[in-house]
């Protein structure tokens, strides 16, 4: 296999949670560019159909599952439909998540639990659901979307619950990588820096001194800049890589 061929994903099926916009959409399309069939998930049927059609325009198969990931039955349903419509579950990209900006002294237990459940609990449920067929076939790759917020404290916004959840995503990814290595399942995480998405007011001038000017590259990322890194982690190009957290932040977190 040549170096470039190692990045190909032909014949593989990928689930991407939260794939209707932002990083998830870019991940789904990048994986399709590399040859994977895609199961698109989200809450917006119209947006999901648009992504699915973009996948199909690349000559790949696509299937859409609409639902709330926080519903207990949704992870298993997603995996079951991937097997039924795409034939297998070879790759899982856990991208869906939420953020709450609120001072730690004011956040309610319910608000804290909402962030932790969505960003960590649901992610774990998706990992478990995908790992079952991966275990049977003896191979699979999981890529969890963490954040530099998992190892720095972002400023000036207050988001302790989000930061804690992303630190948990990183450590959970490492733990699963060790536990599931004998099953043929690789688990890695990606830690993006500031990216222009719907949940980050990246263009607001009040945040530029903190989010842009402090970056060595003096800019934020676009979602499409994350797609190739996710392809790398999902492909045989990273075959000897598991339990890693790949930082993609323009140098923002460099001490």
* Catalytic residue numbers, as ranges: 162
Q: Tell how strand 62-66 and strand 185-192 pair up.
A: unpaired
* Start-end of H helices in 58-181: 74-86, 109-116, 122-137, 160-180
**Cα-based distances in Å from 91 to 159, 231, 254:** 30, 10, 30
Contact 161, 115 (CB under 8 A): yes
**Cα-based distances in Å from 138 to 141, 184, 198, 205, 223:** 11, 5, 37, 50, 32
Backbone Cα Rg of the chain: 17
Q: Comparing C-alpha atoms, which of 198, 168, 161, 166 is closest to residue 47?
A: 198
Q: Give the whole-angstrom CA distance, residue 145 versus residue 197.
A: 14
**Cα-based distances in Å from 96 to 60, 71, 137:** 22, 13, 26
**Cα-based distances in Å from 64 to 29, 52, 61, 113:** 14, 7, 10, 28
């Amino acid at each position: 296999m040549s170096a470039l061929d190692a990045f190909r994903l032909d014949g593989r099926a990928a689930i991407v949670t939260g794939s209707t916009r932002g990083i998830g959409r870019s991940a789904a399309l990048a994986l399709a560019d590399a040859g994977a069939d895609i199961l698109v998930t989200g809450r917006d049927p119209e947006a999901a159909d648009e992504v699915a059609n973009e996948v199909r325009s690349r000559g790949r198969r696509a299937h859409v599952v609409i639902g709330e990931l926080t519903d207990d039955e949704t992870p298993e349903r997603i995996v079951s439909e991937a097997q039924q419509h795409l034939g297998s579950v070879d790759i899982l990209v856990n991208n869906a998540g939420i953020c709450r900006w609120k001072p730690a002294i004011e956040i309610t237990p319910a608000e804290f639990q909402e962030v932790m459940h969505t960003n960590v609990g649901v992610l774990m449920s998706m990992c478990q659901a995908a790992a079952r067929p991966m275990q049977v076939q003896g191979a699979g790759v999981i890529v969890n979307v963490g954040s530099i917020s998992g190892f720095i404290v972002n400023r000036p916004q207050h988001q302790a619950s989000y930061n804690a959840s992303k630190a948990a995503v990183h450590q959970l990814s490492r733990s699963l990588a060790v536990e599931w290595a004998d099953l043929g399942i690789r688990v890695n995480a990606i830690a993006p820096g500031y990216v222009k998405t719907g949940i980050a007011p990246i263009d607001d001038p009040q945040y530029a001194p903190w989010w842009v000017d402090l970056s060595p590259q003096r800019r934020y990322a676009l979602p499409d800049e994350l797609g190739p890194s996710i392809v790398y982690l999902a492909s045989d190009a990273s075959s000897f890589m598991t339990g890693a957290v790949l930082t993609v932040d323009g140098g923002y977190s460099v001490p």
